[in-house]
A and B are shown apart, each in its own frame.
Chain A
């Protein structure tokens, strides 16, 4: 008789974190709860030795390096970007990988700490949003302008915005209007 191996702590955490990320990207603008706060849990769930990663936080960088992932300094080379803040990063992120119409999956995943519920009001529409959705995010209008320039659907990058344990997903398919 085969007995079920119970999931270990890492698997339980990754499974729950992924579920939060999956629903966050499926329903842009909806906030989901992750089992742990911070970017490290997302890195642990998604990143391994098949990935090339940029992280601005030295502690996170060493954690990511320990997974076997290649840690790069050049944002244009990486598939996952972890930023402790989005402020003043427009110029740096303008080189973010957006894939191509042939291979949209080459577009990067941007994971960043962003305050939910404060800052600028935006209106979201597109797949996963029933009509339109308005919310407030601590992201400057300049960033959204940069994103609109880069995301020529199906090219683009996907965002996971983390505030403590909450995560909000903005995939490239979402139209963001700054109000």
Chain B
């Protein structure tokens, strides 16, 4: 072996921004993440032209998966037109030649910050969630070495205790986002800060989910048909947000997760959080031939 035999011909840029060795490392870790669902796998987390904490983890996974035939949707809190989402989507398509879309049904890869789309994802789709804090135990154990040991021992007693304390103090579980969930009956993961509304969508889903934290350099996965069970006490059932009866003031859809907007003189108005679902509903009501896919929630009830 010589140095020249290890060297590739010169190129101005690597396809998909990441170099080949970065992609191989990610690919190895992504396979291990699938093999042990919910278990956090360390990875190198290369530099990308974006500050850590703005979706670099999800971006690296997407850049590894993407090819010129991919169609990419990027959402930020449900919206396709947020600055962060639009910038990431444009960057991915510029460095890979992949098509861009806002439509969940048309996407092959959905990269998301803090929401799972309302339309049911198919078995050929991949959901990439950006994760700020991948460690569900951080709140109860700041030392990551001890937290790793606790994962190894499946020692989640302290997590149960925080949930119990919330019930004792407030009468209900106050954890709003990033609800700790048991994956495949073994590893507790944080499903990234998606609302409680979205956690059931990951349970026994048809699609493949990657969760990647670029700043914390860890990724984990939820393969299709994998149990994802929110930690709950048997006498206190898991409750999602009370959004079933709210109606979007712009599109008129109801029974989906809503953004609450304060209005003058007090009170709130609501807009559907999955903005493209609202757009589709408006276009449909105007007579356009738009297909709205089957949704996870129907009439405000989860029914997968």
Contact = CB atoms under 8 A, between A and B. Distances in A.
A158 B31 contact: yes
Contacts of B298: none
Of all A-B residue pairs in the complex, the 10 with the closest CB atoms, nearest first, are A171-B35, A101-B152, A127-B226, A7-B15, A4-B97, A158-B35, A128-B223, A26-B223, A105-B32, A102-B152
Nearest to B153: A101
A18 interface: yes
A158 B29 CA distance: 12
Given A48-B21, A101-B153, A130-B225, A171 B15 contact: no
Interface in A29-49: 45-49
Given A5-B13, A5-B15, A154-B187, A128 B226 contact: yes
Given A11-B20, A105-B42, A18 B27 contact: yes
Contacts of B153: 101
B28 interface: yes
B300 interface: no
B14 interface: yes
A96 B208 CA distance: 28
B84 interface: no
A19 B65 contact: yes
Interface in B26-49: 27-32, 34-37, 39, 41-42
Contacts of A156: 35
Interface in A125-140: 126-130
Contacts of B95: 2, 4
Interface of A: 2, 4-8, 10-12, 14-16, 18-19, 21-23, 25-27, 45-51, 65-68, 100-102, 104-105, 107, 109, 126-130, 153-154, 156, 158, 171-173
Contact of B186 (A6, A26, A67, A154): A154
Contact of A154 (B15, B39, B224): B39
B68 A6 contact: yes
Interface in B3-37: 5-6, 11-16, 20-21, 23-25, 27-32, 34-37
B31 A21 contact: yes
Nearest to A125: B225
- Most chain A CB within 10 A, of B36, B42, B204, is at B36
Interface residues of B, number: 49
Interface string B213-238: 00000000001111100000000000
Nearest to A62: B1
Contacts of A10: 20
Interface of B: 1, 5-6, 11-16, 20-21, 23-25, 27-32, 34-37, 39, 41-42, 64-65, 67-68, 94-97, 148-149, 152-153, 184, 186-187, 204, 208, 223-227
A23 B34 CA distance: 9
Looking at A7, A10, A15, which has the most chain B CB atoms within 10 Å of its CB?
A15
A19 B27 CA distance: 9
A105 B41 contact: yes
A173 B25 CA distance: 22
Contacts of B5: 66
A45 B32 contact: no
A65 to B, nearest CB: 7
A154 B223 contact: no
A176 B252 CA distance: 49
Contacts of A65: 1
B209 to A, nearest CB: 10
A114 B1 CA distance: 31
A109 B31 contact: yes
Contacts of A19: 65
Nearest to B37: A127
